[in-house]
Amino acid sequence: MKFFADTADTDEIRDLAATGLLDGVTTNPSLVARTGKDFRDVLDAICALVKGPVSAEVTATDAGGMLDQGRGLAEVAGNVVVKVPLTWDGLKACKALSGEGVGVNVTLCFAPVQALLAAKAGAMFVSPFVGRLDDIGHEGMRLIDDIRTVYDHYPDFATEILVASVRHPGHVAEAARIGADACTCPPAVIRKLADHPLTDKGLATFLDDWRKTGRDIRGALTPA
């Protein structure tokens, strides 16, 4: 499963990219606004840090405006994926941009039939928002399971399921169990994926036991 960082914070992206485990980045207008920086500067910086797909979202709401903004965004770098909302205009723009060879991420997906439309419109990614469904008492991960089932019935669909609005490692674990193609997570959630109290406890015991021997590994490996 691919890991994307759901942030426009370039310090966070640089730090995560250094692990070699980051496959891409997703942004949205709220995340870019939070940086307080110029949109173009932010996008240039992110695309220079990450080789994989970088989703950049349009703010136009009509198909013509989305097409215009989307074409402009796609010119910024070869790894830009244009993010459009799951509306009829967004689907029209998705179909046209995909036809021009531009990768499109159809976002704000909350139902399997919406995901079906995104695939038919040629989206590279569909972004179902699990956390926001949980927030209103629905079962967000159920949506991922349903979309997986629907897409698996139609092998011609090339659209990848990009689980979004991820709030905790449990969402990532469940997404992997279902077979989602990618998860986009806030940096704090990505960092939590490696954490386990028994790992910390076990490591402390190993090191403590070793320290008591008074030996060192490099010394033991160096021929006398």
Q: State the residues that interact with ligand G3P by CB under 6 A.
A: 6, 26, 28, 129, 131-132, 164-165, 184
Please name the helix (run of DSSP H) or strand (run of DSSP E) that holds residue 148, with its range, or none: helix 140-152
Decide if 83 is catalytic.
yes
Nearer to ligand G3P, 114 or 184 (CB): 184
Answer left, alpha or beta for residue 178, where phi above 0 means left and psi between -120 and 50 means alpha: alpha
Nearer to ligand G3P, 33 or 204 (CB): 33
Least distance to ligand G3P from the beta carbon of 27, Å?
A: 7
Least distance to ligand G3P from the beta carbon of 154, Å?
A: 25
Q: How many angstroms separate the CA atoms of 184 and 111, rounded? A: 18
Per-residue tokens: 197? 């109290």
Catalytic pick from 2, 37, 83, 192? 83
Least distance to ligand G3P from the beta carbon of 63, Å?
A: 21
Nearer to ligand G3P, 131 or 179 (CB): 131
Amino acid in position 76: V
Handedness of CA 24, 28, 30, 32 (dihedral sign): positive
- The count of other CB atoms within 10 Å of the CB of residue 4 is 28
Which residue numbers are catalytic? 83
